[in-house]
Amino acid sequence: MPKELKSPTSSANTAQDVQGIWGMVVDQDLCTGCQACVAACSMENNVPFVGEVDAGYGRSMQWIRIERFWQGSYPNIKATPYQPVMCQNCHNAPCEPVCPVYASVHSLSEDLNLQVYNRCVGTRYCANNCPYEARVFNWRDYMDPRQRPELVTLANHFNPDVTVRRRGVMEKCTFCIQRIRHAEDTAASENRDIRDGEVVPACAQACPASAITFGRIDDPTTKVSQAADTSRGSHLLEELGTIPHVTYLAGGA
């Protein structure tokens, strides 16, 4: 990873604000494309099912998707490694400044992109400006049992830590910010720092191959920092200078 494209260690206003910059490493050599992360993410974050028709039309709302391509023409085809894509939580996020109502703002202390659901008016400019197409839009009230009873299969199983979004709101992967907050609160009540590996997002938790590592990237001793620093690492669309916080490892196997 070129040094100049690394996140600055801190862009917080004051030293007290620094709570840790979070990052992720996805090892494409380990990923089996099993979609367990997709299912776990949907359960954790109350991501609605959109139904067959809408999903077929490109409206599926999963915050993480497994991309897979074929290279060459039949019959000489070769599959590319599976590529799970979620919000890259860019340091210079193109989605943020284009929102007219500050619904998409930056957390200075943690260097995360925040999406404020109840401020969103649904201009969808952020989604247009996201080069990773990581944002998803609530095209309908998918979570309203009156509208689509067959889709709301887990109505009584919502995660109480995460808002249920209604129609017309943009959303995206949050790095499971509710889990980060929970760990922070626990650590604060026990008067200690957050331990490495204490925060595990749903996708990483569910991954059977342990292809996803999560942790603080401002601390060089964490697992995620060490994993990111290998020669196999790269960022998606690095040339755009968005400085994403997700590093992909590939080509070493």
Binding residue (CB under 8 A) for another protein from 29, 141, 193, 219: 141
Choices 135-143, 173-181, 203-211, 224-232 (CB under 8 A): range interacting with another protein: 135-143
Binding residue (CB under 8 A) for another protein from 10, 125, 154, 234: 125
Site for another protein in 173-192 (CB under 8 A): none
Site for another protein in 203-232 (CB under 8 A): none
Q: Report how far apart, in Å, the C-alpha atoms of 233 and of each of 7, 246, 247 are.
A: 15, 10, 6
Say whether residue 47 binds another protein (CB under 8 A). Answer: no
* Residues 112, 174: Cα–Cα separation, whole Å: 8
Say whether residue 77 binds another protein (CB under 8 A). Answer: no
Choices 19-27, 137-145, 171-179, 199-207 (CB under 8 A): range interacting with another protein: 137-145
Say whether residue 246 binds another protein (CB under 8 A). Answer: no
* Residues 201, 215: Cα–Cα separation, whole Å: 10
* Residues 246, 24: Cα–Cα separation, whole Å: 5
The four Cα atoms 241, 247, 251, 253 give a dihedral, to 10 degrees, of 170
When the beta carbons of 119 and 195 are compared against another protein, the nearer one is 119
Say whether residue 161 binds another protein (CB under 8 A). Answer: no
Among candidate residues 103, 124, 113, the one with its CA nearest the CA of residue 168: 124
Q: Residues 96, 56, 137, CA angle at the centre, nearest 5°?
A: 20
Say whether residue 133 binds another protein (CB under 8 A). Answer: yes
Residue 62 sits at φ, ψ, to 5 deg, of -60, 135
Say whether residue 167 binds another protein (CB under 8 A). Answer: yes
| Bond from prior residue into 75 cis (ω within 30 degrees of 0) | yes
Say whether residue 170 binds another protein (CB under 8 A). Answer: yes
Please give the structure tokens belonging to residue 42. Answer: 């949907």
Binding site for another protein (CB under 8 A): 54, 57-60, 65, 67-69, 85, 91-102, 104-106, 108, 119-125, 127-129, 131-133, 136-141, 167-170, 237, 240
